[in-house]
Protein backbone atom coordinates (compact mmCIF):
# COMPACT_ATOMS: atom_id res chain seq x y z
CA UNK A 1 0.00 0.00 0.00
CA UNK A 2 2.83 2.37 0.79
CA UNK A 3 4.36 2.16 -2.69
CA UNK A 4 1.15 1.61 -4.65
CA UNK A 5 -0.94 4.34 -3.05
CA UNK A 6 0.56 6.49 -0.33
CA UNK A 7 3.85 7.50 -1.93
CA UNK A 8 2.34 8.37 -5.32
CA UNK A 9 0.94 11.77 -4.30
CA UNK A 10 0.42 14.14 -1.41
CA UNK A 11 -2.92 14.30 0.34
CA UNK A 12 -4.84 17.51 1.08
CA UNK A 13 -6.52 16.24 4.26
CA UNK A 14 -6.99 13.15 6.40
CA UNK A 15 -10.47 12.51 5.03
CA UNK A 16 -9.14 12.36 1.46
CA UNK A 17 -6.42 9.94 2.54
CA UNK A 18 -8.89 7.79 4.49
CA UNK A 19 -11.21 7.59 1.47
CA UNK A 20 -8.31 6.63 -0.81
CA UNK A 21 -7.14 3.91 1.58
CA UNK A 22 -10.67 2.50 1.88
CA UNK A 23 -11.10 2.49 -1.90
CA UNK A 24 -7.72 0.79 -2.41
CA UNK A 25 -8.48 -1.94 0.14
CA UNK A 26 -12.04 -2.64 -0.99
CA UNK A 27 -11.42 -2.08 -4.71
CA UNK A 28 -8.10 -3.87 -5.19
CA UNK A 29 -6.48 -5.47 -2.19
CA UNK A 30 -9.34 -7.66 -1.02
CA UNK A 31 -11.08 -8.74 -4.25
CA UNK A 32 -8.25 -8.78 -6.80
CA UNK A 33 -5.05 -9.63 -4.94
CA UNK A 34 -4.00 -13.28 -5.07
CA UNK A 35 -4.21 -15.09 -1.72
CA UNK A 36 -2.15 -18.12 -0.76
CA UNK A 37 -5.12 -19.60 1.13
CA UNK A 38 -7.06 -19.67 -2.13
CA UNK A 39 -4.34 -21.53 -4.04
CA UNK A 40 -2.91 -18.21 -5.25
CA UNK A 41 -6.16 -17.10 -6.86
CA UNK A 42 -7.92 -13.81 -6.29
CA UNK A 43 -11.15 -14.03 -4.29
CA UNK A 44 -13.08 -13.04 -7.43
CA UNK A 45 -11.45 -15.83 -9.47
CA UNK A 46 -11.97 -18.34 -6.65
CA UNK A 47 -15.65 -17.43 -6.39
CA UNK A 48 -16.11 -17.65 -10.16
CA UNK A 49 -14.44 -21.08 -10.21
CA UNK A 50 -16.70 -22.45 -7.47
CA UNK A 51 -19.85 -20.80 -8.80
CA UNK A 52 -19.27 -22.43 -12.19
CA UNK A 53 -18.63 -25.81 -10.54
CA UNK A 54 -21.83 -25.52 -8.47
CA UNK A 55 -23.89 -24.50 -11.49
CA UNK A 56 -22.58 -27.48 -13.49
CA UNK A 57 -23.52 -29.95 -10.75
**Residues contacting 43, CB < 8 A, separation 6+:** 30, 31, 32, 35
pLDDT score recorded for residue 14: 94
| CA separation for the pair 18, 5 (Å, rounded) | 11
| CA separation for the pair 29, 27 (Å, rounded) | 7
pLDDT score recorded for residue 57: 64
| pTM of the predicted protein model | 0.60
Q: What is the pLDDT along the chain (57 residues), one digit of tens a residue?
A: 888 888 999 999 999 999 999 999 888 888 888 889 999 999 889 989 888 777 776
| CA separation for the pair 11, 22 (Å, rounded) | 14
Amino acid sequence: MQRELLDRRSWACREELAAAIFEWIEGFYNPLRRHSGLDYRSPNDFEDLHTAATAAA
